[in-house]
Structure 1
Amino acid sequence: MLSIIISSYQKDFYENLVENINETIGEAFLYEILPIWNPKLMGICAAYNLGAKKSKFENLLFLHEDLIFKTKNWGEKLISHLTQKNTGIIGVAGSSYVPKAPFSWTVAEKYNVVNILQGNKEDANSILLNSTKSNRNKVFAVDGVFLAVKKEVFNQCKFDEDLLKGFHGYDLDFSLSVAKQFQNYVIDDILIEHFSKGNLDCEWLQANIKVRQKHNFKFQERADAETERQNFLGFLYKYFECKPVNFKNLIFTLGFYPFWSLKMKDHYLILKKYFNYFRYRADINKKQIITKLLK
């Protein structure tokens, strides 16, 4: 009934997760667990596509290995969600807004929908993050920690292993591809505890740039000027942490400028920010070089 696909590179986390799944998914529930051993042997898109190819059931669940389930008998709950009409991806964290600039799915608090116990690998304490308003909350982007989808939907989209060779951007690309044809949801009746927060490094940014270039598509009916401004400024800040400030790179960032979505005051604020990047480019570039040398 459910094929659970895990790209694994941490044996202890994987074994704990398997034991936890066996204890929580439901006694009579039919499932298989497909580990793809992947200590950077392939990108996560390739690993997930390989797992899906090997799967024998009509429902797929792509999971991170550094988590455990807190909800009992969650298998039947998940299948109930997946079998509802026009359902795309079922997740536990996502966003109902897609900005023009490449950045995290955590677009803005008012659009983020989350139901997860968030912790880290160094601290045993986790925090419950919950902003769901109903059992099924409509979203576009879904976080990759938990991606459930019917195989017939997956076969129309799949993970883009030609575009993304590493371990970033796969969830945003996949969920946006599915969102063009189906409705994605974040649900509130399956709770997991996750033990890492991700790594928003320069590789992550580059992957998200590729995804945003691919999905030049308007997802929501109306643009939110404040959200577009904040995300574009966040993109600029991260981009110039990774790339030198020069004329070529300044022009490149303008390709994601949400011109028609902003108010006049927003244009002024962003223009001022560009001026400061150019004015202090020598200091910014020097700081980049020092940071790279210290790594």
Structure 2
Amino acid sequence: MLSIIISSYHPQFYSALEKNIAETIGIPYEIIKIDNPNLMGICEAYNKGASLSKYDYLLFVHEDVIFHTKEWGQKLINHLEKENVGVVGLAGSNYVPKAPCGWFIFDEIYNFKNYIQNNKERTRRTIKQMLIPYAKVFAVDGVFMAVTKFVYNEFLFDVKVKGFHGYDTDFSLRVATRYHNYVINDVLIEHFSEGDSNKLWFDNNIQIREKIMHRYQENFDEKVESILFHAFLRRYFSYYNCNLKNIFFTLRFFPHQLTRYNKFLIFKGYMYYFFKHK
């Protein structure tokens, strides 16, 4: 009933997960392992795995996790069988700012998480359990992304998103233009690595936001938009020169609904970066 697709590069993690799934899933399944020691981007690996799948429900999951929930397979299927469902995940957010960024929003009122976060050494364990049964979101974290094959075939992973960053934001936001994405609380995993927001992550998020200019939420959060645009400029001009060409490029993502005061502060920020790069 469930095809589990894994882009694998760490045999020890994969073996532990394979055994864990067999002990916990509780329904018929297949695992499609795509050996991928940096041979291809994760989008290409996931599309390759999905093309080999035989079931109508797909789960794209990292290999450095274990499942703590028993009989979790049917619980997941129940969510995927709901009307107009898109991506089902265990972490995501329901606010999409104008500025390029990942799924996570600094203001926790917009984030929904249901997982245990640890590190590879298993020394830093943090439990994030959502109290409500499910939450509608737009962007979904890629550690766990479930979708029907029907919806997957409509969107696919975009192989133009290179490497291992941003693929989840890109896929889930495109799906959210037509379907409802959810974070659920009746499946619990533990994840044994922490994110790496490097330059490729940043560039991929810019590419994604250039491509997807959809307006997701009706409300406009002045504080979130202002803080994230300042953060975007700070990071952008740490990688690229603050010249007129790049200033005009960043203005593509400018949140025009800001108040005059916040617009003035952003203008001051531009002046700071411009003279800093002189």
User: 2:102–2:166: 8 Å Cα contact kept in structure 1?
Assistant: no
Aligned equivalent of 2:270: 274
Q: CA deviation at 1:254?
A: 1.1
Q: Deviations over 1:177-210 (max 9, x none)?
A: 1101110000011111111121100000111111
Cα shift at 1:218: 0.4
Q: Does 1:238 align with 2:238?
A: no
TM-score, normalised via structure 2 length: 0.97
Q: Helix, strand or coil for the counterpart of 1:262?
A: coil
Quick check: 1:91–1:185 contact (8 Å CA) kept in 2?
yes
- Please say if residues 117 and 127 of structure 2, whose CA atoms lie closer than 8 Å, have aligned partners that are also in contact: yes
Tell me if 1:212 matches 2:205.
no
- Structure 1 runs of 4+ aligned residues shifted over 3 Å read none
For residues 85-130 of structure 1, give each alpha carbon's deviation from its aligned partner in whole angstroms, at most 9, with x where no partner exists.
1111100000001111101211231101111111111343310123
Cα distance, 1:125–1:165 mapped onto 2, change above 3 Å: closer
**2: distance between equivalents of 1:248 and 1:122?**
45
Structure-2 residue corresponding to 1:92:
90
How far is 1:246 from its partner? 2.5
Letter in 2 for 1:2: L
**Mapping of residues 85-234 of structure 1, within 5 Å:** 85-107=83-105, 108-130=107-129, 132-161=130-159, 163-234=160-231
Classify the secondary structure of the residue corresponding to 1:110.
Answer: helix
Contact 2:139 2:169 in 1 (8 A): yes
Q: 1: CA distance between counterparts of 2:240 and 2:196?
A: 18
Whether the aligned pair in 2 keeps the contact of 1:103 and 1:234 (CA below 8 Å) is: no
The reply to whether residue 69 of structure 1 matches residue 57 of structure 2 is no
Percent of residue pairs identical: 52
Residues 1:12 and 2:9 are matched in the alignment: no
Q: Which runs of 5+ in 2 are unaligned?
A: none
**Alpha-carbon shift at residue 274 of structure 1 (Å):** 1.2
| SS at structure 2 position matched to 1:14 | helix
Q: Which residue of 1 aligns with 2:42?
A: 44
Tell me which amino acid in the other structure corresponds to 1:86.
N
Equivalent residue for 1:262, pick from 258, 261, 274: 258
Deviates more, 1:76-85 or 1:103-112: 103-112
CA RMSD, Structure 1 to Structure 2 (Å):
1.2
1:35 aligns with 2:16: no
Unaligned runs of 5+ in 1: 283-295
**CA–CA separation in structure 1 for the residues paired with 2:261 and 2:111:** 25
Deviation at 1:23, TM superposition (A): 1.1
Of the structure 1 ranges 41-50 and 115-124, higher mean CA displacement relative to structure 2 is found in 115-124
Structure 2 CA distance for aligned equivalents of residues 143 and 248 of structure 1: 33
Structure 1 stretch displaced more, 228-237 or 48-57: 228-237
The SS at the match of 2:114 is strand
